[in-house]
Amino acid sequence: MSAPLDRVLKLEVPIVVLIGQRKSTVAETLQLAPGMIIELPKNAEDELELLVNNKTIATGTAVKVGENFGIKLAFVGDLKQRVLAMGPDSGSGDGTDETDLDALAEMLLADQL
């Protein structure tokens, strides 16, 4: 594996597990207080989404691991989709070229990670 690719693979990226979403008025948001429960329009058994850069790359179900929560993955997108999800949001204007991300995905596929 090339040294530049090795450095890229060591970068840390934040991941988010989305358990649900709902809209709230400004008035409701201002009234939030400790102990309040916010109901989400999602069943407890429904699959959760694993997000990188606000893009879903996998889904799974909630599990308890000791005293912590976790996610047991049921579906993971292909490698190219995952690499592209780590790129900039469309319109972010940070100078990252999508062809660079395509090339990175191809390099990763060639090394069969």
| Total count of residues recorded for the chain | 113
pTM, two decimal places: 0.68
Q: Mean pLDDT, the chain, as a whole number? A: 82
Structure tokens that stand for 11 in this block? 């970068």
Q: Establish if 30 belongs to a structural domain.
A: no
Q: Note the pLDDT of residue 17.
A: 95
Q: Note the pLDDT of residue 91.
A: 44
Q: Establish if 27 belongs to a structural domain.
A: no
Q: Note the pLDDT of residue 39.
A: 92
| Domain that residue 77 falls in | 3-21+39-111
- Domain count within the chain: 1
| CATH number of the domain that residue 77 is part of | 2.30.330.10
Q: Establish if 107 belongs to a structural domain.
A: yes
Residue 46, pLDDT > 80, answer yes
Q: Establish if 93 belongs to a structural domain.
A: yes
d(C-alpha 56, C-alpha 71), whole Å:
14
Residue 97, pLDDT > 60, answer no
Q: Establish if 75 belongs to a structural domain.
A: yes
Q: Which residue has the higher pLDDT, 71 or 45?
A: 71
d(C-alpha 65, C-alpha 63), whole Å:
6
Q: Establish if 34 belongs to a structural domain.
A: no
